Structure 1
Amino acid sequence: MANPFEHNRLTLTFPDQLGQLVISDLLDIPDDISTVALLYCQGACLVKSKSEADRVLSFSLPDDIDPAYFTAYLLGEILPANQGKIIKSYLDQIRPFLNRLGYTLTSPSDSTQKATKQKATAKAQHRFSKALADTPFYVDYDGAKAEIYWVKRQELVIKKGASLKQETPLNKDGAVGFSQKFALTLRQEHADAIGSDFKTTADIQLKSVNEVGHLLFFAGTNAWLILKDKTGKTLDSHTIAN
């Protein structure tokens, strides 16, 4: 790992294509922030705003990780489940390097952070209701169209005749990312029910809303907000636990 220090900035290039970290003062923020994740810190503590900070950590991330999701994850915000898993795995790999520098990437107040996370977790919980078992929900998003029923707690049915997104999204380097690999695996598992025109020829049973999003449109967004009833009300609105 290269660790050059110059002009009030420290640049760390992680091994194994894990990206790069630049630690600098607040006057040295990158011109193009669309491709990096910016984290503001006061000393070694993560803070939420630039006004509280005395330095900035700029992460250049692997292509599988969206910079906005990375920042949101560390601030305790709600993410699609698959993104949370990817980011957690990434942090586990670079944590030994961060620990050597004294950065644990936690909020200044652990109790506040824990309370925020508990509140966010509660908001993210959804409850199955038998009353919805006969209610059709529809997807019309990014080339995918489908009629779906949530029939049991761990069983959703995509009805025959659904249209799947055809083109597999690729990373910037042209590689297939983690989410896309998972989606392609699901499609392979149900290949007997998917025609060459990417239309389903039979009902498909899946275990979660997350799997539905992957199979139909390679995820990339919150599927709870994409599935809607005939009035346009989202599955999230129908089932979120208050």
Structure 2
Amino acid sequence: MELTLIIDGQQARLTLPEHQGQLVLGTGKPATTTAPHTTLWLKAGRLIGIDTLPAGKQADRFIQIQPGWDVEVGYLAQRFSDVAVDRGSVKVPFLTGTVPGHLVPAIDAFVDQIMVVLQALGFDQLFAKPVKKGPAKAQHRWRKELADVAFQVAYDDSEATVYWQKRNEMRIEKGATLRATARKNKDGSTGLGERMGERIRLEHAAAIDGTTTTEDVVLKSVNEVGLFLYFGGTNGWLQLKNNDGVTLDALSVVE
């Protein structure tokens, strides 16, 4: 496909071959035109509106499509709205009309051609499905009244009594039972939890006899406690429980 490009200030005009129309790309608002057109409004490379912007939305770029005489712009806009829904980039369609069945093949062929051009121009995220943000990592705060609370761990063949005695000190009472071996990855390789757990155990080898601790062991964090006792692999804040069964997470999380 051979395109003709003209750049005028903040706008670029691409002419499609065989009188199939033009694309006008730019920032701000497109210049006034009497040519039939459909406008895609973008924000950070993603489609946020077709022809009109939803209330409260601001675009940073536009793509104005001026098709040839044989493509009805109203139906073209509707098909772009359908594409956005089909690809999961929006749940609520921008437009709710329909395209007559006998016109769909021609409209779709033109849409496919425009998509090829936009992909080549770097607009690969135009109809991308939004990436869901994971939940924010919980924050925990040490308090003096927690220092004397005995928290029990009974998880994955390990048992221990643990005290959060200072902000950066977790003390595991002697007599703790350690998980003997770590589980391997699905492919049989050694996992990160095993490597880190073995390193911590090696640092405190003098306090370990087999799978039992003979002395108190002081570590720096809940994460280290989990790696030391059972090679990690779970949320340690939920495994530490007081005598009433309340987790350390519930007692220390910052709302």
TM-score by length of 1: 0.52
Q: Deviations over 1:114-167 (max 9, x none)?
A: xx76xx24xx00000110101100001110000000000000000000000112
- % identical aligned pairs: 43
CA distance in 1, matches of 2:205, 2:123: 48
TM superposition shift of 1:173: 2.0
Inter-CA distance 234–54: structure 2 relative to 1 (3 Å threshold): same
Ranges in structure 1 where 5+ consecutive residues have no aligned partner: 1-43, 46-50, 56-99
Structure showing the higher helix proportion among its residues: 1
Following superposition of structure 1 onto structure 2, how do residues 201-220 of structure 1 map, counting pairs within 5 Å? 201-220=214-233
Aligned to 2:209, the other structure's residue is in SS state coil
Inter-CA distance 211–53: structure 2 relative to 1 (3 Å threshold): farther
Inter-CA distance 108–166: structure 2 relative to 1 (3 Å threshold): same
CA distance in 2, matches of 1:171, 1:131: 40
The alignment yields a C-alpha RMSD, in angstroms, of 3.0
In the alignment, what sits opposite 1:186? 200
Aligned to 1:170, the other structure's residue is in SS state coil
Aligned counterpart in structure 2 of residue 143 of structure 1, from 157, 163, 186: 157
Following superposition of structure 1 onto structure 2, how do residues 16-165 of structure 1 map, counting pairs within 5 Å? 54=87, 102=124, 108=130, 120-121=136-137, 124-165=138-179
Aligned to 1:156, the other structure's residue is in SS state strand
CA distance in 1, matches of 2:145, 2:207: 28
TM-score by length of 2: 0.50
- Segments ≥4 residues shifted beyond 2 Å: 51-55, 100-103, 106-109
TM superposition shift of 1:210: 0.4
CA distance in 1, matches of 2:248, 2:86: 39
Inter-CA distance 107–151: structure 2 relative to 1 (3 Å threshold): farther
CA distance in 1, matches of 2:219, 2:160: 14
In the alignment, what sits opposite 1:238? 251
CA distance in 2, matches of 1:167, 1:101: 50
CA distance in 2, matches of 1:215, 1:101: 48
Q: Which has the higher contact order (CA 8 A, sep 6+)?
A: 1
Inter-CA distance 234–52: structure 2 relative to 1 (3 Å threshold): farther
CA distance in 2, matches of 1:190, 1:52: 57
The aligned amino acid for 1:202 is: E
CA distance in 1, matches of 2:199, 2:85: 45
The aligned amino acid for 1:188 is: L
TM superposition shift of 1:54: 2.2
